[in-house]
Amino acid sequence: MDGLVGYFSRVFAVAGIVGMTTIYVWSKVESSGVAQRMDAAQGQLSHLEEERSKLVARLERSKLSGVLRQRAVEELHMVAPKSPSLVVIE
């Protein structure tokens, strides 16, 4: 009976060591994958921030009164009224 108990205890010890090693390696692999995904997300974030700053610059430029007046005349065919109370529709 003592030999059988010793055999099972050795099997459980080896199984425990293999199981703990597997869990340790698995956690390292998962953390490596998470780190890679975080690096990719940070790259996308910097690209999106750059694109956002370009869009904000374009928006600010389009708000200038000269640009608005030019677009109104060229694209919408608007005409400035001669007096404030006069509305011209063509």
In terms of residues, how long is the chain? 90
For tokens 């890679």, name the residue.
Answer: 36
Q: What is the pLDDT of residue 90?
A: 63
Average pLDDT over residues 53-59: 92
Domain regions of the chain by residue span: 33-78
The reported pLDDT for the residue numbered 61 is: 85
Rounded to the nearest 5 degrees, what angle is found at the Cα of 55, between the Cα atoms of 50 and 56?
A: 95
Q: What is the pTM of this model?
A: 0.50
CB 77 within 8 A of CB 90: yes
- The stretches of 1-90 forming alpha helices (DSSP H) are 2-62, 65-74
Which backbone phi and psi does 9 adopt, to 5 degrees? -65, -40
